[in-house]
Amino acid sequence: MRLRSLPVKAINICEQSSGRRIISIAPTMPLNVLVVGAGVCGPAFASLLQSSNPKHNITVIERSPSLRIAGQQIDLKAQGTPIVRSMGLLDEVWQHRVEETGMEIVDSNGNALARFGVNDSSKGERRNLTNEYEIMRGDLIKVFQEASLRRREQLKQQGETEGSMTYEFGKTITTLDQCDDAAEVTFSDGQKKTFDLVVAADGQASKTRRQVWGGEVSDASLHSLGAYAGFYSIPRGPADSAFAKIYNTTGKRYIMTRNGNRPKTQVYLWDLKHTEELRKLDKEPVEKRHRFWADNYKDAGWEAERFLEGLKTTDDWYSCEIAQVKLKELHKGRVVLLGDAGYGPSVFTGMGTTSSLFGAYVLAGELARNPNNIKGALNMYEEKLRPHIEEAQKVGGNFGLFPDSKLGIWLMRKALWIISSLKLDSLATSVMPEQKGEVEIPVYPELNLPVVS
């Protein structure tokens, strides 16, 4: 019989400034990993990591008491689509897709000033032309979370006894101490646990980023694009069509609605004027924020009254500053930032979801490729992600419809699939000078994904 070498585990003792000692063992695969945030990329990363090695213990904690399925239409594009395809989940995403017929710019009477639409003759072709998958945020999160749990169940049935996939809701990190090889976490329920790696996927306002990088660095990492947005849904009205509608009024205010084939109407309120004020309100109760938007939009015209009435009873209000997250380093010791928490490109780029998935894929891939070398894996993750972040965070261009308006640029990008479907290729190219999705997706056979790309 041949002698098999056993993994060597080094013992580390690490003294904290508080005088507390953390005793840890340098990890060999499999790992004990904590994912903070069950948004878009948290469950996607958990799923990818599990696929690479079912013996990992993966815990995902989420601040909300259940999956936070709020949020409006988001989309997969560029690298996002092939990554989800490689996970074997693209068909499921397709089944949840939102069908949108086109886009109208409307006046205060709701009449179309301009219309970008798809006519019947081009039906059925448009999605292929831009490779874009529109889906409600809540549906996408559920696809990833359910896939990770379904796979766990399969593994158990196949006799896998090691490893785990656990989601814990209503839970946050209270303190996080770390040394080279481990992170010791105290949770809001008082529980204490040591992890080989903490993956912060807790969104643009990441508390983990603040805890580990400090308030000053964390605040400075948020680069405002000078706008705020409030997203929510209301009952569908008789005039709401499958067209997205955009209404521009005085005071740097924009209202957008979208329905697609959905029973509810999505309302987007955009404010390009009160960034400072709204930032302060972020720390206030949601009622106060609602009051601000209601006061500020009551004279906006069009159907503002109906939209504000709906604000009173909506159950999925979400607002955020339109900002990009930029940090010199995406990891510190055994804590790594993923998705919006580390490099959110902002809604204006339309790349938030795709970027968060690109990161999830590369992080899981590098961890699989560099077993027993988490530090090396984290360095490679940063190195491979940088060109993509640069690409995703580009906000540029200057288009005729909304001159010098970043919002206009974003809207034009959203409308690109419509332009493409009309086969106005030259227009599409002139409207979108920098194509996204040029950065190649690394190939990781180590991820053992169901679909080989």
Ligand X SMILES: *[C@@H]1O[C@H](CO)[C@@H](O)[C@H](O)[C@H]1NC(C)=O
Closest contact distance (angstroms) between CB of 351 and ligand FAD is: 9
The pair of three-digit structure tokens given for residue 426, joined into one six-digit string: 């030259």
Task: List b or e across 414-447, with b for residues whose CB sees 16 or more CB atoms inside 10 angstroms.
Answer: bbbbbbbbbeeeeebeebbeeebbebebeebebb
Binding span for ligand FAD by CB under 6 A among 17-25, 40-48, 174-182, 402-410: 40-48
Residue selected from 133, 231, 358, 444 as contacting ligand FAD according to rule CB under 6 A:
231
Asked if 71 is part of the footprint of ligand FAD (rule: CB under 6 A), the reply reads yes
Quote the CA–CA distance of 277 and 280 in Å, as a whole number: 5
Nearer to ligand FAD, 55 or 63 (CB): 63
User: Closest Cα to residue 68, out of 320, 354, 284, 318?
Assistant: 318
Residue 183 CB coordination number (10 Å): 24
- Spatial contact of 359 and 385, defined as CB atoms under 8 Å apart: yes
Binding span for ligand X by CB under 6 A among 25-33, 44-52, 374-382, 383-391: 25-33
Query: How many residues bind ligand FAD, per CB under 6 A?
Result: 32
Closest contact distance (angstroms) between CB of 443 and ligand FAD is: 23
Binding span for ligand FAD by CB under 6 A among 122-130, 337-345, 366-374, 418-426: 337-345
Asked if 60 is part of the footprint of ligand FAD (rule: CB under 6 A), the reply reads no
Quote the CA–CA distance of 206 and 36 in Å, as a whole number: 9
Interface characters, 373-402, with ligand X (x: CB under 6 A): -----------------------------x
Closest contact distance (angstroms) between CB of 207 and ligand FAD is: 4
Residue 6 CB coordination number (10 Å): 7
Closest contact distance (angstroms) between CB of 322 and ligand X is: 15
Quote the CA–CA distance of 79 and 65 in Å, as a whole number: 32
Asked if 45 is part of the footprint of ligand X (rule: CB under 6 A), the reply reads no
Contacts of ligand X in 46-65 (CB under 6 A): 57
- Spatial contact of 408 and 325, defined as CB atoms under 8 Å apart: no
Contacts of 328 by beta carbon, 8 Å cutoff, 6+ apart: none
The pair of three-digit structure tokens given for residue 46, joined into one six-digit string: 């958990």
Q: Say which DSSP state 97 is in.
A: B
Residue selected from 108, 119, 154, 175 as contacting ligand X according to rule CB under 6 A:
119
Binds 335: which of ligand FAD, ligand X, none (CB < 5-8 Å by kind)? none
Alpha helices, DSSP H, located in 162-281: 207-213, 215-220, 275-281
Asked if 128 is part of the footprint of ligand X (rule: CB under 6 A), the reply reads yes
Asked if 250 is part of the footprint of ligand X (rule: CB under 6 A), the reply reads yes
- Spatial contact of 145 and 38, defined as CB atoms under 8 Å apart: yes
Question: 410 phi and psi, to 5 degrees?
Answer: -65, -45
Residue selected from 41, 87, 244, 337 as contacting ligand FAD according to rule CB under 6 A:
41
Asked if 324 is part of the footprint of ligand FAD (rule: CB under 6 A), the reply reads no
Binds 39: which of ligand X, ligand FAD, none (CB < 5-8 Å by kind)? ligand FAD
SS3 180: coil
Nearer to ligand X, 286 or 427 (CB): 427
Nearer to ligand FAD, 155 or 347 (CB): 347
Quote the CA–CA distance of 87 and 361 in Å, as a whole number: 10
Residue selected from 97, 126, 152, 207 as contacting ligand FAD according to rule CB under 6 A:
207
Question: 4 phi and psi, to 5 degrees?
Answer: -100, 135
Closest contact distance (angstroms) between CB of 4 and ligand FAD is: 40
Quote the CA–CA distance of 416 and 130 in Å, as a whole number: 8
Query: How many residues bind ligand X, per CB under 6 A?
Result: 15
Torsion of CA 139, 203, 147, 451, to 10 degrees: 100
Nearer to ligand FAD, 148 or 370 (CB): 148
Residue type, 114: A
Q: Which residues bind ligand FAD (CB under 6 A)?
A: 36-42, 61-64, 68, 70-72, 74, 137, 172, 201-203, 207, 231, 318, 339-341, 344, 347, 352-353, 356
Q: Which residues bind ligand X (CB under 6 A)?
A: 30-32, 57, 94, 119, 121, 127-128, 164, 248, 250, 402, 405, 408
